[in-house]
Amino acid sequence: MKKIVSLTVLTALVAGCMDMGSQDTSATYGGFGEEQLVATPESALNTNAYLMAAAPKYYIGTPYKIGDVQYIPGEDLSYNQTGIAGVVPVELNGSQTRDGETFDSNQLVATSKTLPLPSIVKVTNLENGSAVVVRVNERGPLVNTRIMDLSAAAAQQIGLKSTAKVQIQVLPTESITVKNATLGEPEKIVTTTTVQETVAEPVQEPASATTTVASGDYSVQIAAVYSEDNARALANELSSYNATVVREGDMYKVRINNLDAANARRVIDALRSEKGMAPGLLKAGKWVNADSI
C-alpha cells in the first residue's frame, strides 16, 4: 500500500512518473554556457501533495554508460548543477518508471542520469527565471547533451517549449522525507545546513601522483558512494590525478582537490576522454557547471 507523508514545511512540490526505456525519442543538441544562478522566491512555487508520496521502491542503480560517457548514480544532497533540459515525449504516458511508478505527463516529474529515484528538485529556467519543483522518478535523458528531461506539465510551468538551459537544485529535506516514506522509515527532518559542501572529513591521504596540479579553489568530483572500500579503490585507480576520498555524512566522495581553473579544465577533459567518466565541478565548495571554465 502506498503511504503519503505530509510535510509541515514544504516550500514547493509537484510530481509524476515515467519510463524512458532503452531509447530516447527527443532530438539531441549541443553544449552548455556560462554558470548562472537565479533566485526564485519560494512563495512563487506551487505545491502538490503528490510530490511526497512514497514510491513503490527506492532506486539508485549501478554505473552505466551513454556512448563513451560513464555515469555513477548516487545520493548527493548538495547537488546543484546547470545544463540543458528537454521535454519527455507524451507518448510515454502509462509506461513504468525505474522506481515502479507510472508516467503521467500531467504530473510535475523529471528524469535524471544520477540522482536517486524518487528525489525532489527545484528546476529554474535560466532563460526567464521561472522555477518549478519536480519529482525525479526515472533515468534519462539517454543522450549526453541534456542533463534532464521534464514532463510536459513541468515544462509548461517554466516556459520550456523545446530545450533550455536550467539550474537543478536538490531539495534535501524533501528528498530525504520521500526516501524515508518509500523505505518505510520514520520521517527524519534534515536542514540544508547539515548537507552543505563546506565540511569535509578526509579519510585518505592523496595518493602519490604523476600529474602535477596547481593550488586553487576548484575540486573535481568523480563519484559519491556509500562504500568506503569502493571509494578508495576508485581513488587508487586515479592516483595519477591526485584523487582523494572525503567523507560527508554517510557518503564517501572521490575528488581531485586544490585545482586552478586551467588544471580543473584539463582534468575534466582527461577523465571524459580517457576514462569515459562524467565528473562534476565545485568552486569553493559550491557546485558549478563543469563546462563553465
pLDDT tens for 198-238 read 334 444 433 333 343 457 899 998 887 767 888 888 899 89
More confident of the two residues 265 and 3: 265
The CATH classification number of 42-183 equals 2.40.40.10
Q: How much of the chain exceeds pLDDT 90, in percent?
A: 42
pLDDT at 281: 86
pLDDT at 7: 37
What is the pTM (predicted TM-score) of this model? 0.57
pLDDT at 33: 29
The domains of the chain are located at 42-183, 197-288
Residue 192 has pLDDT above 70, yes or no: no
Average pLDDT over residues 75-87: 92
- Radius of gyration of the chain from its Cα atoms, rounded to whole angstroms: 18
pLDDT at 277: 77
**CA–CA separation, 269 vs 192, rounded Å?**
31
